[in-house]
Structure 1
Amino acid sequence: MGRDLTKSAHEGRHHEESIVVSNDNLIDRGWSKGTVAFPDLRKGSIGLCFANLIAHVGMGYADDFGPTFRSPDNAFASASGQLSYYQLMDRRGELTIVTDLDDLQQHVEAWNKPGDDDNPIGPGIVIGMEGADPVLSPNNLDLWWDKGLRIISLVHYGIGRYAHGTGSSGGLLDRGRELLRAMQAKGFILDTTHLAERAFWEALEVFDGPVIASHNNCRALVPGDRQFTDEQIKALADRDAVIGVALDNWMLNRELKEGKKDKGGASLEDVADHIDHICDVSGGSRVAAIGTDLDGGFGAEQSPREIDTIADLQKLASVLEDRGYDDGEIEDVFYRNWLRKLESAWKD
């Protein structure tokens, strides 16, 4: 947070390495080596991504997992400020905020036109919220919808205002059920990422609208409650959901510990293993997709060894091709599944 995303990831790292606090630069003090910036998205031909707003209320959260506030009002103000940044970038032409089917179709058409190297089109972004703490109440959803929010996950780490999340045991809170019903009525997409297992199953019972998992991997390959069981993957496949694979090394390789900064600890082959598993469990290439979670609290220092910036995602295509994926299946994983899901969610 606080980075100038109009500058390349390398420019951002250079700036952070030049800021010295108590004899250490910011990178040495634990800041991630940023991978995501608008120039890098363009360089990598990444035309559409999710941009998550995040602000926690201190109810069992660890401060390491994003900004934590003492009241929902503070979280609301912080998330609103983050959204204001994207709106400013939209007005300046750095990106395009996509909120409905017309926006999506127009952006895809513009992105696929021959480019102007002197005036490249910016990536499209769909605004999400990682942990619903900034939503003051179900009655507040209209305001967030009008601001452009389209995807909501109920919780991040610990216990949120609406549900139990990663690292905690429990289900939905009463207000979480009320929020889900209001989300469905308004047309929001539910992101099941970070829900505690009981909360996951309860959410699928309550919510009958469109469902995704923006960044989640497979427990069969890497143990832990942050990952999905095969039963959860099957349940999401039955709901025509899409699961984006995360690129955090400890979620890819069972030998690594959470938060471990080990650039050599995982590779794109590990990413492909999780894609393979989702395809095997779900019965095809319709569910697996790219999620990354870059730069969601980590960067190049904690990503597969082939990833220096977000532009290097294109290297995954050859890894999948070597495993026997055909062009159509690679396109499913790279973009078609996400496009199909957004189109179906917004068709009405």
Structure 2
Amino acid sequence: MFTFDIHLDLALNAIEWNRDYRQNVPTIRLSEQGMTDKPDRSRGVVSLPDLRRGQIGLVVATQIARFNQTDSSLPGAGWNSPQQAWAMTQAQLAWYQSMEDDGWMRQITNRQQLDEHVAMWLDASIPTEQKPIGFILSLEGADSLVNLTYLEKAYAYGLRALGPAHYSTGRYAPGTGLSGPLTPMGRDLLREMDALGMILDVTHLTDDGFDQALELYQGPIWASHHNCRSLVPHQRQLTDGQIIRLAERGAIIGGCLDAWMLKPGLTQRVPFQSHTFGVTLETLIDHYDHICQLTGSSRYCAIGSDLDGTYGLEQSPADLDTIADVQNLRGLLLKRGYSPDDVAAIFHGNGLRFLHTAWSAQ
């Protein structure tokens, strides 16, 4: 089934992990044998060939570069000035552009491009290995925007979604692990995003930041990679009230496959707990069930896998070897009692409907 994954950190891995994503997953793993500089070396699960193999023809692909204000050991940290962080996002942009030049990817910035791309992927006469992966560019954490003129530069090269926060402190918003509202710069950022018609990603915002963002922002909103706090009690997850408010705004919520976010009791960066705790792809459906029960519909559920999001096999569901295995959710959802229409909505329909609405003026 054609699949839309609304959160993947592809360029981060290509540039900072030095992974050649044109190679398949087994080849990338083999190339990293014996390396210890990253916790997920030789354990990656994503590649462009495996995206094609898994019929994941459309993704939200990120740029990400944090500015170190406090702890440089946090995920996504590493740059000592916003200017350096901006430079890294531009290296990531250059990688996406080179993948376009080579025919591996295709940037999607408007409704017409979206419809043409989906039609191409649904055309069975075109071999899958010839189909580029469509990508919508998103910025995860806004630290790299030196000032608001940089948002306009980014929009000009195709940035269409933005999450102001990531982990810990942020120039525009505090993120996961902290509390408190948006910064004054963050409030200005939302106003400028609104004027440009961008998609606001509430992922990683604090509870205060979430409340403030929904009050301030008038445009389209999604939660690109989130699960349910009622099932896994952690600030990184969405409360029932937040889920309901997102549904009222017509948002979609991308179910995340990071194992510690799927079942209570797991700890980040402790490898292979998914086997001990019985975390599988079906565990994600528990979170979908919860969202459906709260909202009365499957129309707000999507896939936001976050695979290779600074973790690999060691922090993925136990029954997942590569991202192509996301296709197995189809049978699991049907077995759980979801209708074929519900399954299609989760795999791509809800995301496409969201974008048609968000980009209706284009």
Alpha-carbon distance, 1:294 to partner: 0.8
CA shift at 1:121, angstroms? 0.5
1:337 lines up with 2:330 in the alignment: no
Q: Does 1:165 align with 2:175?
A: yes
* Contact 1:32–1:301 (CA under 8 A) maintained in structure 2: no
In the alignment, structure 1 residue 204 sits paired with structure 2 residue 214: yes
> C-alpha deviations, 1:291-323, integer Å up to 9, x for none?
110111111221111111010001111111111
TM-superposed CA distance for 1:116, in Å, is 3.8
2:166 and 2:322 map into 1 onto residues whose CA distance is 25
Q: Deviations over 1:201-248 (max 9, x none)?
A: 001111111000000000000011000100000010010000001101
**Structure 2 counterpart of 1:234, which letter?**
I
Correspondence for 2:253 among 233, 243, 256? 243
Confirm or deny: 8 A CA contact 1:250 1:257 kept in the other structure. Answer: yes
The amino acid that maps onto 1:124 is: G
Q: 1:49 is paired with a residue of what secondary structure?
A: strand
Runs of 4+ in 1 over 2 A off after TM superposition: 25-32, 60-64, 115-119
Task: Indicate conservation of the 8 Å contact 1:32/1:297, yes or no.
Answer: no
Distance change (3 Å), C-alpha of 1:313 and 1:56: same
Task: Specify every segment of 5 or more residues in structure 2 that has no aligned partner in the other structure, as ranges.
Answer: 1-12
Distance 1:107 1:30, change over 3 A: closer
CA contact (8 A) 1:60 1:160 kept: no
**Equivalent in 231, 239, 243 of residue 229 of structure 1:** 239
Cα deviation 1:89-137 (Å, max 9, x = unaligned): 0111101111111110110111111244485212111111110111122
Q: Which residue of 2 aligns with 1:5?
A: 21
Shift of the alpha carbon at 1:139?
2.1
Q: Is the 1:158–1:165 contact (alpha carbons within 8 Å) kept by the matching residues of 2?
A: yes
Asked if structure 2 preserves the Cα contact closer than 8 Å seen for 1:130 and 1:153, the reply is yes
Aligned mate of 1:276, from 278, 284, 289: 289
Aligned partner of residue 331 in structure 1, secondary structure: helix
Kindly indicate whether the alpha-carbon contact (under 8 Å) linking 2:40 and 2:311 is maintained by their aligned counterparts in 1.
Answer: no
Taking a change above 3 Å as real, the CA distance of residues 98 and 29 of structure 1, as seen in their structure-2 partners, is closer
Would you say 1:146 and 2:156 are equivalent positions? Answer: yes
C-alpha change, 1:32 and 1:65, in structure 2 (3 Å) is farther
Aligned to 2:190: 180
Give the aligned CA root-mean-square deviation in angstroms: 1.5
1:258 shift after superposition: 2.1
CA distance in 2, matches of 1:30, 1:49: 22
Given that 2:40 and 2:314 are in contact with CA atoms closer than 8 Å, whether structure 1 keeps it comes out as no
TM-score scaled by length of structure 1: 0.95
Identity %: 42
Hey, what does 2:98 align to over in structure 1? 88
Taking structure 1 as reference, are residues 225 and 314 closer, same or farther at Cα in structure 2, changes over 3 Å only?
A: same
Which of the residues 12, 35, 43 maps onto 1:33?
A: 43
Alpha-carbon separation, structure 2, partners of 1:336 and 1:328? 9
Rounded Cα–Cα distance in structure 1 between residues aligned with 2:336 and 2:129: 37
Give the distance between the partners of 1:194 and 1:207, measured in 2 at CA.
16
The one-letter code matched in structure 1 to 2:282 is: E
Q: Give the letter aligned to residue 74 of structure 2.
A: D
Secondary structure of 1:47's counterpart equals: strand
On the 8 A contact 1:99/1:150 being kept in 2, the answer is: yes
Work out the CA distance in 2 between the residues paired with 1:32 and 1:169: 35
In structure 1, distance between residues paired with 2:128 and 2:159: 31
Q: Distance in 1 between matches of 2:271 and 2:355?
A: 34
Q: Could you tell me the TM-score, scaled by structure 2's length? A: 0.91
Q: Give 1:12's aligned amino acid.
A: I
Q: Which amino acid aligns with 1:230?
A: D
Deviation at 1:38, TM superposition (A): 0.6
Contact 2:68 2:77 (C-alpha < 8 Å) held by counterparts: no
Worse-superposed segment, 299-308 or 61-70: 61-70
Higher relative contact order (CA 8 A, sep 6+): 2
- SS of residue paired to 1:56: coil
Q: Distance in 2 between matches of 1:30 and 1:13?
A: 10
